[in-house]
Chains A and B, each alone.
Chain A
Amino acid sequence: MREIAVVGFVQSPSLRREPNRNEVEILVPVIAELKKSVGITNDQIGFVCSGSSDYLAGQSFAFVAGLDAVGAWPPVSESHVEMDGAWALYEAWVKMQMGYADVALVYGFGKPSMGDLPLTMALQLDPYSMMPLWPDAISLAALQARLLLENGHLTEREMAERAVRDRRNAKSNPFAQLKGDFEVEKLLSEPMLASPLRKHDCAPISDGASGIILAAGEKAKELCKRPAWITGIAHILEPMELGVRDLTRSRSSEIAAHRAGVWRDKVDAAELSAPFTHQQILVERALGLSAKTRVNPSGGALAGNPLMAVGLSRIGEAAQQSWRGGADRAVAHATSGPCLQQNLVCVLEGN
């Protein structure tokens, strides 16, 4: 396996609503700054890959406009997944593993504020039996939370503690959307949103974009003082139907974490994409994180959830922990589909 590292990461601020800029306008400065910060130009980039969703944008081929931000001239080798940018990073990593490129540019973007997000997500569901009922994303997550609470797998308090922790961590993240000091008791006294979930249990709706530069071997060392080496990356999909899988654990995160080798050594920091507090807990357990791991130093998805970029940004934030020397070994997680249906785990090491 080739040694491939994250050598650059730039993100736009996660905003409830980007009122004036369209997706391309959000992306242009992100990609420009990304290339500048790493010190590379297009002629050094061997592969470009992005992640986005047409239904989020309300248009077919919405990703095509994203290419405008790359300055793809001369023409570039480029691909796109209808998934979070974390999977675009996976595709690029594979391309680099086969020796196709030494440097790759990856980006993800989305403006979920344009539509009614929880309702739009209902379009992901089985079109025959589930979608026509239009169950929104929050209600589905609530079903899972109910299952967990009533069977004693976790408590409301533990859920609220995640929100408190992540928003507190987010105070040091200029790009996070929800940040500040909150108290568990106060949060638990808030009304239900979709019981048993309260507002604080849910990730916000966020517009945003982020980009990452990957580099291989010597090139990575040339471009970055302390490259964040990807020592393991894996992803797994579960069936969608809520009744055919165990909703009290994230089996796919467990398998992906195992294949990515999370278990091999200590984990100093973890960045998780789970958009609900109870799901955060499930992912923490699936990754086998100890009390020593700093979870979501950036605030994670609960502090800012720009769909299609959020997973990629977790990889970027984990890499940043490594660059800043805050972590020798960090794990990043991305998710897709209702109730943690599909999960990606990436291990980054600074040494």
Chain B
Amino acid sequence: MAELCGVVGIGQTKYAPSRKDVSMAGLLREAAERALEDAECSWKDIDAVVIGKAPDMFEGVMMPELFLAEAIGGAYKPMLRVHTAGSVGGSTGIVAASLVQAGIHDRVLTVAYEKQSESNATWALSIALPFSVATVAGAGGYFAPLVRGYIRRSGAPEDTGIRVAVKDRQNALKNPYAHLHLEDISFEKVASSPMLWDPIRYLETCPSSDGACAMVMAREKLAERTPRKPAWIHATEMRSEPTFFSGRDQVMPRATLDNAKSLYKKAGITNPRQELDCAEIYVPFSWFEPMWMEGMLIAERNQGWKMTYEGATALTGDFPVNMSGGVLSSNPIGASGLIRFAESALQVRGMAGAHQVDGAKKALGHAYGGGSQYFSTWIVSSAKP
């Protein structure tokens, strides 16, 4: 029933703490125009636009896609705005793909962005409600206690997070778009950086970035004809669970496990560790790499940290993770999920430049959000399913 959809164009902006050189419209267009150029098509070839971003408080504009209609090529076209918290970039990609997979449109442009320098992200993330007591200073304050729970369960060495942080920042040096280019990153530098929300250190934390990421997706016949190889979408999956209920496993939510099982089944994958060549995983705090290796059933329960320790997730390892530098190196919140999806597509198209995994044919793109309760994922490949 579903038609085959291919990613035929990818565009990213330079991620930076504050892109004062462009307005929101300029930021979106930078990514969109690069994607159109890559796909060798123009604005008029686009049938529909799907935009994704995180809470509107990050820019202080309510439903900004409305005022950005023309900037994003959406005038007199169908436009959808997705918002699923941190996983939004992923969900946006999935919604865009569905428009092609359902046979409704031939070519869809999808853009996810955040220009969070325009407002105050920490404030927006922890708006204190009346009658309650605010105890959480930003996302780190929310996740740090869960990381502590993972360390307790798995017995992972305390420096596991440091290793992930070093690896991702080293990878970022090979990605000209990345926000953080920490030339002198090292284990010692991360270990000695200030502790922010124990056990998460400053250098184990994602930056706050402005940025946008765009993709052009097309139906099979059109995708086959594009100049550069498309990344064929083999499967997409989403799962959500309530944030808070009695007995909820906050550290290894069932939603991620169910999502992974379903995704692999749809993609015909029985051994993800072997059958996937690499992955771009949403890791905003370094400890989430081992946690999501387990959450995506790539590592056994409580063993995810070993993949980091053994160097398996390094660019030269047998299961590279976050070759682009990941969320730890660039985090425009609304875009980060789509960047993961886009980077996984770049890998299988052989277009990831200096951070390319040799011979990558099948890759996983992953995003999560909320209180670790929303998961969106996809699998792309250089070959059709």
Contacts and interface: CB of A to CB of B under 8 A. Distances in A.
Interface in A47-63: 48, 53-55, 58-61, 63
A124 B81 contact: no
A55 B81 CA distance: 15
A97 B254 CA distance: 27
Contacts of B80: 81, 83, 87, 90-91
A234 interface: yes
Interface in B85-138: 85, 91, 94-95, 98-99, 101-104, 124-125, 127, 129
Nearest to B257: A75
Contacts of B176: none
Given A123-B62, A238-B76, A75 B258 contact: yes
A223 interface: no
Nearest to B5: A98
A341 to B, nearest CB: 6
A54 B98 contact: no
Nearest to A71: B242
Given A75-B259, A83-B80, A237 B98 contact: no
Nearest to B248: A73
B127 A60 contact: yes
Contacts of A127: 24, 59-61, 64, 67
Contacts of B127: 58-60
A122 B24 CA distance: 18
7 contacts: A53-B63, A54-B83, A75-B239, A81-B80, A82-B63, A123-B61, A336-B66
A58 B129 CA distance: 9
Interface string A119-144: 01101111110010000000000000
B254 A74 contact: yes
A123 B245 CA distance: 34
Contact of A239 (B23, B54, B70): B70
Given A64-B243, A81-B83, A342-B79, 9 more contacts: A55-B56, A60-B58, A64-B373, A74-B254, A77-B239, A83-B63, A124-B61, A124-B63, A128-B23
Interface in A77-115: 77-83, 87, 90-91, 94-95, 97-100
B56 A79 contact: no
Interface of B is mostly: loop
Contacts of A78: 238-240, 374
Contacts of B2: 98-100
Nearest to B72: A237
B266 to A, nearest CB: 10
A40 B2 CA distance: 25
Interface in B126-173: 127, 129
A79 B337 CA distance: 14
Contacts of A94: 95, 98-99, 102, 104
B85 A100 contact: no
A48 B104 CA distance: 20
A326 interface: no
Interface of A: 1-2, 48, 53-55, 58-61, 63-64, 67-68, 72-83, 87, 90-91, 94-95, 97-100, 120-121, 123-128, 131, 234-240, 251-252, 255, 336-338, 341-342
Contact of A336 (B63, B101, B124, B255): B63
A34 B56 CA distance: 30
Given A123-B61, A237-B76, A61 B370 contact: yes
Nearest to B253: A75
Given A64-B85, A79-B91, A97 B103 contact: yes
A302 B98 CA distance: 34
A235 B254 CA distance: 36
B55 interface: yes
Nearest to B94: A79
B57 interface: yes
Contacts of A55: 56-57, 62-63
A218 B167 CA distance: 52
B184 to A, nearest CB: 35
B222 interface: no
Contacts of B69: 237-240, 341
B242 A73 contact: yes
Contacts of A131: 61
B75 A80 contact: no
Contacts of B125: 60
B205 interface: no
B79 A237 contact: yes
Contacts of A240: 66-67, 69
A48 B70 CA distance: 30
B20 interface: no
Contacts of A235: 78-79
B84 interface: yes
A115 to B, nearest CB: 11
B297 to A, nearest CB: 15
Nearest to A68: B242
Interface in B290-314: none
Contact of B67 (A1, A125, A252): A125
